[in-house]
């Protein structure tokens, strides 16, 4: 059985409906802001044209100057012929064409990483982790719940790494991407065949709540855990993360679903416990 628990508007962890996984982005992009040009705005461009290939670093299409300028030409920037090469650099956005010297061929950005791949580097730097599980009845050999009594589940001590939001940036191939990650929902596998998705952190249980049900994320066991391994239900919480990235005049979303943590809880029949 699968149960969906609606978001609670008052829950600061609620991010509403999350966008779908989308956008790999283009490796090559124009960014006139590097030279103070605001139009056209930054955005993807074809990685090659009849003129040459695109360089994010130079912000233009590149080809080897043929013939090479004569010795002493200003294009050599003080270097001698044979010491590197002079390249033609053309910006179709401004229709500007200049010559630049480079010791090595400018990097072909079309062979570089996509913005999504750079975003993944940023995600790897975040150190995202599965949540720490808060649950009543509590795990442990001396703790046992009762069939029919409310179970409360929540994210214990949420942090940037376990709940978000957390932001990181990464650069590669002349592309800089900033990514922000946050948990969209927690899927709770209760170990009795029931899965519950809570789009919030849940509510931490307090003794004052007594036998009431959780207002945000809960469950009720209808059977005992007796006879199962260690006479317990294995409860597994799986985090569904949403990562929004932007940069290079582009944006997209990465969905991550797989960080999980488990605990074991014992649940018995009330009449058995009384005996």
Decide: 127 and 190 in contact? Cβ < 8 Å.
no
Looking at residue 14, its pLDDT comes to 45
pLDDT one-digit tens code per residue, 133-192: 999 999 877 788 999 999 999 999 999 999 999 999 999 998 999 999 999 999 999 999
| pLDDT (mean) for 53-57 | 95
For residue 179, which of 128, 235, 225 has the smallest C-alpha distance?
A: 128
Tell me the two tokens of residue 69. Answer: 């300028």
| pLDDT (mean) for 264-273 | 80
pLDDT one-digit tens code per residue, 217-247: 999 999 999 999 999 999 999 999 999 999 9
Which residues in the chain are classed under CATH 2.60.40.10? 2-25+113-274
For residue 194, which of 230, 159, 231, 153 has the smallest C-alpha distance?
A: 153
Tell me the two tokens of residue 133. Answer: 């599980």
Decide: 220 and 149 in contact? Cβ < 8 Å.
yes
Give strand pairing partners of 176: 171
Looking at residue 53, its pLDDT comes to 98
Residues 6 or more apart whose CB falls under 8 angstroms from that of 105 comprise: 62, 64, 85, 87
Decide: 59 and 34 in contact? Cβ < 8 Å.
yes
For residue 252, which of 173, 179, 175 has the smallest C-alpha distance?
A: 179
Q: What is the DSSP letter of 45?
A: -
Give strand pairing partners of 99: 88
Sign of CA dihedral 41, 44, 45, 47: positive
Decide if pLDDT at 35 tops 90: no
| pLDDT (mean) for 250-272 | 91
Tell me the two tokens of residue 267. Answer: 């649940």
Give strand pairing partners of 208: none
Looking at residue 271, its pLDDT comes to 63
The pTM of the full predicted model, rounded to 2 decimals, is 0.83
Kind and range of the H or E run holding 218? strand 218-220
Decide if pLDDT at 13 tops 50: no
Superfamily of domain 2-25+113-274: Immunoglobulins (2.60.40.10)
Q: What is the DSSP letter of 229?
A: G
Tell me the two tokens of residue 150. Answer: 């409310």
Percent of the residues in the chain that have a pLDDT greater than 90, as a whole number: 80
Decide: 27 and 235 in contact? Cβ < 8 Å.
no
Tell me the two tokens of residue 62. Answer: 């590149």
Q: How far apart are CA 15 and CA 164, in angstroms?
A: 11
Residue 274: band (very low, low, confident or very high) from pLDDT cuts 50, 70, 90: very low
Residue 195: band (very low, low, confident or very high) from pLDDT cuts 50, 70, 90: very high
Give strand pairing partners of 150: 220
pLDDT one-digit tens code per residue, 79-118: 999 999 999 999 999 999 999 999 999 999 999 999 999 9
Q: What is the DSSP letter of 208?
A: G
Sign of CA dihedral 201, 203, 204, 205: negative
Looking at residue 5, its pLDDT comes to 57
Residue 20: band (very low, low, confident or very high) from pLDDT cuts 50, 70, 90: confident
Q: How far apart are CA 121 and CA 97, in angstroms?
A: 34
Looking at residue 91, its pLDDT comes to 95
Q: How far apart are CA 116 and CA 205, in angstroms?
A: 40
Looking at residue 34, its pLDDT comes to 79
């Amino acid at each position: 059985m699968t149960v969906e628990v609606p978001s609670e508007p008052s829950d600061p962890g609620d991010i509403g409906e999350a966008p779908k996984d989308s956008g790999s982005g283009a490796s090559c992009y124009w960014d006139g802001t590097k030279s103070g040009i605001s139009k056209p705005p930054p955005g993807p461009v074809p990685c090659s044209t009849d003129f040459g290939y695109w360089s994010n670093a130079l912000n233009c299409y590149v080809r080897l100057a043929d013939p090479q300028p004569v010795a002493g030409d200003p294009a050599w920037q003080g270097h001698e012929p044979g010491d590197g090469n002079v390249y033609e650099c053309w910006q179709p956005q401004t229709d500007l064409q200049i010559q630049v010297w480079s010791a090595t061929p400018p990097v072909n950005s079309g062979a570089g990483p996509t913005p999504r791949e750079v975003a993944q580097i940023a995600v790897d730097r975040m150190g995202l982790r599965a949540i720490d599980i808060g649950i009543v009845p509590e795990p442990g050999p001396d703790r046992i719940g009762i069939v029919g009594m409310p179970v409360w589940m929540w994210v214990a001590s949420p942090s940037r790494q376990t709940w978000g939001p957390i932001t990181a940036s990464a650069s590669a191939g002349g592309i800089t991407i900033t990514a922000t990650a946050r948990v969209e929902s927690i899927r709770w596998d209760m170990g009795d065949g029931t899965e519950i998705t809570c789009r919030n952190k849940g509510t931490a249980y307090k003794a004052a709540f007594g036998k009431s049900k959780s207002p945000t994320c809960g469950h009720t066991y209808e059977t005992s855990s007796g006879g199962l391994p260690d006479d317990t239900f294995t409860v597994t919480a799986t985090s569904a993360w949403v990562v929004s990235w932007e940069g290079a005049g582009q944006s997209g979303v990465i969905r991550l679903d797989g960080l999980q943590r488990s605990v074991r809880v014992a649940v018995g029949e009330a009449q058995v416990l009384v005996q």
